[in-house]
C-alpha cells in the first residue's frame, strides 16, 4: 500500500524549534540549545554513498510501457552525464524531450492541415477562409471586383479545379 504522504496528511513537527530563524539564534542560545543545534546541523550532512539509487524502485514506479518510451532519452542522459554533470544532463534530457514532442506536434499539424482540408469531396476537414478587405462606397476601388472574378468563384470549395476524365 502506497501512502499519499509521508506524514499521513498531518503537518510534520519541526525539530529545529525556535532556532529555525537566524534572528532567534542571534538573540542568544543556551548551552543546551547550542549543543542541540550542533547535533542538528551535523545530522544534515549526507553520507558519501548518498543518494542511493535502487533499480528496483525504478521498476516499481515505472511500468514496462513507460520504461520503453523513456529508454532513448535515459540513454542520452547517461551519455551526457560524464561530460556535463548530472544536473545539466537531466535538464538537457528534459528539454530535449519537450522539444521533440513539440516538433512532432508541429509536423503532425502541418500534415493534417495540408492533406485534410475542407473541399467539395468531403464533409469534414478544416475550413480555412481569408477575409477580404472591406471597400466602402466612395472609396477608390468600389465595387472591388476584378475582371477575372466570376460568380462561380464564390463558395465552390475547390469544385472549379476538377478535371473530368471521360
**pLDDT, position 66:** 94
Is 62 in contact with 70 (CB distance < 8 Å)?
yes
pTM above 0.75, yes or no: no
Judge whether 93 and 76 are in contact, CB under 8 Å: yes
**CB of 48 closer than 8 Å to CB of 63:** no
pLDDT at 153: 67
Question: What integer pLDDT is reported at residue 147 of this predicted model?
Answer: 66
* Ranges of each domain in the chain: 16-45, 52-115
Element (H, E) at 141: none
SS3 149: coil
Q: What pLDDT score does 74 carry?
A: 95
**What pLDDT was estimated at residue 29?**
79
Residue 121 is predicted with a pLDDT of: 79
Angle at alpha carbon of residue 111, lines to 109 and 116, rounded to 5°: 95
Residues of the chain with pLDDT under 50: none
Amino acid at each position: 500500500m502506497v501512502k499519499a504522504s509521508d506524514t499521513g496528511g498531518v503537518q510534520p513537527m519541526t525539530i529545529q524549534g525556535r532556532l529555525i530563524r537566524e534572528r532567534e539564534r542571534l538573540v542568544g542560545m543556551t548551552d543546551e540549545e547550542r549543543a542541540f543545534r550542533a547535533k542538528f546541523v551535523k545530522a544534515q550532512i549526507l553520507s558519501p554513498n548518498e543518494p542511493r539509487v535502487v533499480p528496483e524502485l525504478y521498476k516499481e514506479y515505472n511500468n514496462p510501457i513507460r520504461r520503453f518510451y523513456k529508454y532513448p532519452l535515459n540513454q542520452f542522459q547517461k551519455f551526457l552525464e560524464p561530460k556535463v554533470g548530472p544536473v545539466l544532463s537531466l535538464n538537457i534530457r528534459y528539454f530535449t524531450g519537450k522539444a521533440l514532442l513539440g516538433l512532432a506536434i508541429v509536423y503532425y499539424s502541418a500534415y493534417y492541415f495540408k492533406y485534410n482540408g475542407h473541399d467539395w469531396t468531403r464533409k469534414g476537414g478544416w475550413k480555412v477562409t481569408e477575409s477580404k478587405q472591406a471597400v466602402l462606397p466612395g472609396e477608390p476601388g468600389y465595387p472591388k471586383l476584378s475582371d477575372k472574378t466570376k460568380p462561380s468563384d464564390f463558395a465552390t470549395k475547390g469544385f472549379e479545379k476538377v478535371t473530368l476524365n471521360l
